[in-house]
């Protein structure tokens, strides 16, 4: 995907309140159970569990992103565990064990969840709908959030359905206090090198002395539309980018055969961040569908959750090398 490195101007928010109650899926635990979860050995529980939600949050705090925090045992959690094991000098098998639990600080961890009161600002600046057609999107002012729950889930690194279920559904209006995860502070150490492992679908960021600074799950291209190979460099970083749709260079969406300027916002095709690479038309960027990182191939670029891409954007700079490994 080619992107013009344009920084978006601030837009005046329009008030949009989520007055319609939201139905919640059944959740076998609550926020208290996440904080109280303990590990007694063996693999993580099958399905969705308080322990897995706790481990995901501890991984996030340790600079090894699990992608979305959702309590589900799955591919993103396994690759995050594997990445943390390598970083911590543990046996890299991607499985839960007592050494991993101790290295994450599990026995002494507190405050995995927190209370948060929804504000009027949280409920502002929403849009009613985002059309599939790119020409229609180009007519919009901003590809903003659709729902308060979408906005808050991204802020706290959570799957939106998980956030809703953890709070029993209902309305998410200003004044309501809800339970959310506490993923900790963003990584802030500048990086000197990036390695993207296509097979593991992980991006690892290294510091000046070769130490691992952070690690993230990513989506890479398919066999038909592969991501680059070899080593390239970061050329530029754009926050809140305008996406330039060029069907002659990338892919054609619907019947749109003309160049279009797609406005910024978290639901922009490249999310909140574009990190331009020296390989023409390729970059590392955010994405509006974090739970689907491991289920949908990209058009060749490297997708990240919006929050992981934002963290990376603040520690990367032009000239940083980006190596793609098969």
**Tokens for 230?**
């070899």
Q: How far is Cα 109 from Cα 102, in angstroms, rounded to an integer?
A: 10
SS3 152: helix
Active site residue 232: no
3-state secondary structure of 31: helix
d(CA 60, CA 109): 13
Cα dihedral sign for 102, 105, 110, 112? Answer: negative
Q: Which residues is 273 bridged to in the sheet?
A: 239
Q: What Å distances lie between residue 17 and 103, 147, 177, 265, CA to CA?
A: 43, 9, 15, 19
Catalytic residue among 285, 289, 299, 314: 285
For residue 75, give the nearest of 293, 285, 290, 287 by alpha carbon: 293
CA geometry: angle 277, 63, 122, nearest 5 deg: 85
Kindly calculate the radius of gyration of the chain based on its CA atoms and give it in whole angstroms. 20
> Of 224, 197, 174, 180, whose CA–CA distance to 324 is shortest?
197
The residue to which tokens 């729902």 are assigned: 147
Active-site residue flag, 285: yes
Of 318, 155, 137, 317, the closest CA to residue 243 belongs to: 137
Q: How many CA atoms lie within 13 A of 200 on its CB side?
A: 23
Instruction: Point out the catalytic residue in the list 157, 289, 301, 314.
Output: 301
For the record, the structure tokens of 244 come out as 């330039």
d(CA 218, CA 273): 14
Tokens of 182: 């506490």
Q: Annotated catalytic sites, by residue?
A: 285, 301
């Amino acid at each position: 995907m080619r992107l013009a490195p344009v920084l978006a101007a601030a837009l005046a928010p329009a008030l949009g309140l989520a007055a319609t109650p939201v139905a919640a899926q059944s959740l076998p635990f609550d926020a208290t159970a996440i904080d109280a979860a303990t590990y007694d050995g063996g693999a993580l529980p099958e399905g969705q569990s308080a322990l897995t939600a706790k481990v995901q949050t501890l991984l996030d705090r340790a600079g090894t992103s699990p992608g979305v925090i959702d309590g589900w045992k799955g591919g993103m959690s396994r690759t995050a565990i594997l990445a943390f094991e390598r970083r911590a000098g543990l046996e890299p098998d991607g499985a839960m064990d007592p050494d991993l639990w101790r290295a994450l600080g599990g026995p002494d961890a507190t405050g995995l969840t927190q209370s948060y009161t929804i504000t009027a600002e949280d409920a502002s600046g929403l849009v009613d709908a985002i059309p599939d057609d790119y020409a229609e999107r180009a007519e919009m002012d901003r590809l903003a959030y659709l729902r308060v729950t979408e906005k808050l889930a991204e802020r706290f690194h959570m799957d939106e359905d998980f956030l809703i279920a953890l709070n029993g559904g209902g309305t998410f209006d200003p004044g309501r206090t809800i339970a959310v995860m506490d993923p900790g502070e963003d990584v802030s150490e500048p990086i000197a090198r990036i390695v993207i492992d296509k097979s593991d679908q992980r991006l690892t960021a290294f510091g000046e002395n070769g130490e691992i600074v952070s690690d993230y799950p990513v989506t890479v291209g398919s066999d038909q539309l592969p991501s680059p190979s070899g080593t390239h460099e970061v050329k530029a970083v754009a926050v809140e980018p305008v996406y330039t749709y060029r069907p002659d260079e990338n892919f054609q969406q619907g019947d749109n055969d003309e160049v279009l300027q797609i406005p910024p916002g978290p639901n922009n095709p490249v999310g909140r961040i574009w990190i331009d690479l020296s390989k023409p038309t390729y970059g590392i960027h955010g994405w509006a569908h974090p739970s689907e990182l491991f289920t949908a191939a990209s058009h060749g670029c490297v997708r990240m959750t919006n929050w992981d891409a934002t963290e990376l954007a603040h520690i990367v700079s032009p000239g940083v090398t980006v190596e793609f490994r098969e």
